[in-house]
Amino acid sequence: MAPNNNIQIQIIPETTMIHLYRDDIIEESNTYDLRGHVRLIPIVYKHNTKPAPSVHHVHLRFQGFAQTMLSANFSDSDDEANQSHWCKDSTELTMLDRFLYSARGCSNVTECVLDQETTLTVGTSGDNTLSEVQSIPFRFTLENTHQLPPSIKLPRHLISYYVTAYVHQRKEDECDHCSSLLKKRRTLLKLRHAATAMAKLPITIACHDLRLNRNEPRIRYCGARPNCLQYQVHVSKNFPFDAPSLQFHCTLSASSPSIKVRKLVYFLVQIETYPSKAGRMQPGRGLVPMVETRHRKIGYTEVDVSNVENFDHIPFTLKLTQPHFSQPIDIPSLSIQHKLRVLLHFDGKEKKMALSFPLNFCTRPPEPQPRTFILSRMSSLSLTSASSQCKLPTYLDVMNEGAPPSPFIDDALLY
């Protein structure tokens, strides 16, 4: 007897990497067309006297899921040492794998960030017989691409996209001269067609920021503590995500010789906000009331500056090599933001000063540049060296970033 899997299906898109571009100045289209072909290959077995398979239609589905693993059993060091503890895609786990996943004390918060489907017909003039290899074109139009998060794979978070294709064949006992009443009954009972072949292809979405291609000056944050210290921190607002480290400059000016900075501590804080209850999030309802916020310290560094006499424009480097480090994410089930924390410890009874500066990490667009990067818009941008320039935060920066850091009190830091 010939096996039932008599059709092989292949998904052949034009690309498996979707590049999306975002910018605060340049306007671009909010749609993206993913085109490709579905190839159907009939499998002919030896000594098989059955006719060629008859395909009714091909069902395509383009989905994306954002998942966060909830678990209190593993620390960050365990995640880095053993990738088996990383977040698993619950939509692809078998029943046994799901049981083992739950036995380890793990559960996922799942949100569907993309779900589109289409149906492709096979053949023409009612002839659905698959006697030779056929390629059927398909097209997915993604709306509101600025709301799609990038693909990520982290120890506790996973955002993945994939295209799935199902082939629905006619029943062997179904023929064209069957009565219409019998066909209606089969349709109502959902027995008319059965999915006998399936293929799944992962798709990667990369979100690029065109601001990295512009020569923007550094942001200069200024402040003071009365009768103690004045500070200036020069740091870029946008950093490439794939850079191994970031650099900032610091200038300190004490109001009296008795004020001495003993130690300078700096690190990057990755603020992750996600629901504290596992399950499937309902679309359109936003973030559930019960949320959990976690602060991860990345690149923690302590520097002894007690012997530094001239604290003028001193550079500091912060390393970003950690598997938990992620791009900014802003969706209902997950929010990831970054801030640079700088702590100043003084000699004597002077309280420490805590500063915080928002940062944005983004990926650099690949070459060649997209057509939306209009050269005429660059005429208003500065072409001088960004390292030799510094500017104060703009009014829009202040409104979007919230209240500035307060150096006048000792912040109650929880990290």
pLDDT digits (tens, 9 = 90+) for 74-99: 565 555 556 777 888 887 777 888 78
Q: Is 103 helix (H, G, I), strand (E, B) or coil?
A: helix
Amino acid 15: pLDDT: 93
Q: How far apart are CA 410 and CA 378, in angstroms?
A: 43
Amino acid 118: pLDDT: 93
Return the beta strands (E) in 305-367 as ranges.
314-319, 329-331, 334-346, 353-362
**231-243: pLDDT as tens digits:** 999 998 888 998 9
**42-57: pLDDT as tens digits:** 877 766 666 677 787 8
Q: What tokens does 259 get? A: 């004020």
Residue 18 has phi, psi (to 5 degrees) of -100, 120
Residue 301 has phi, psi (to 5 degrees) of -140, 135
Confidence of residue 205 (pLDDT cuts 50, 70, 90): very high
Amino acid 36: pLDDT: 95
Cβ–Cβ < 8 Å for 235, 359: yes
Confidence of residue 407 (pLDDT cuts 50, 70, 90): very low
Amino acid 73: pLDDT: 64
Confidence of residue 186 (pLDDT cuts 50, 70, 90): low
Q: Within its chain, how far is the Cα of 83 from the centroid?
A: 19
**307-356: pLDDT as tens digits:** 888 888 889 999 998 889 999 999 989 999 999 999 999 988 888 899 99
Q: How far apart are CA 159 and CA 172, in angstroms?
A: 40
Amino acid 77: pLDDT: 56
Q: Which of 338, 189, 179, 366 is nearest to 267 (CA)?
A: 338
Sequence spans of domains, the chain: 7-208, 214-401
Percent of the chain with pLDDT over 70: 71
User: What's 7-208's CATH class?
Assistant: mainly beta
Instruction: Indicate if the pLDDT at residue 228 is higher than 70.
Output: yes
Amino acid 33: pLDDT: 93
156 vs 98, higher pLDDT = 156
Amino acid 79: pLDDT: 56
Amino acid 215: pLDDT: 72
Q: Which residue has the tokens 């009954």?
A: 185
Mean pLDDT rounded to a whole number for the chain = 78
Mean pLDDT of 384-401: 54
Instruction: Indicate if the pLDDT at residue 220 is higher than 70.
Output: yes
pTM of the model as a whole: 0.79
**Assigned fold of 214-401:** Immunoglobulin-like (2.60.40)
Other beta carbons within 10 Å of 67: 21
344 vs 401, higher pLDDT = 344
Q: How far apart are CA 171 and CA 192, in angstroms?
A: 7
Q: Which of 47, 40, 56 is nearest to 6 (CA)?
A: 40
193 vs 142, higher pLDDT = 142
Mean pLDDT of 8-26: 86
Amino acid 13: pLDDT: 95
> Do the domains 214-401 and 7-208 match in fold?
yes
CA-atom Rg of the chain in angstroms: 28
Q: Is the dihedral of CA 244, 245, 246, 249 positive or negative?
A: negative
Percent of the chain with pLDDT over 90: 33
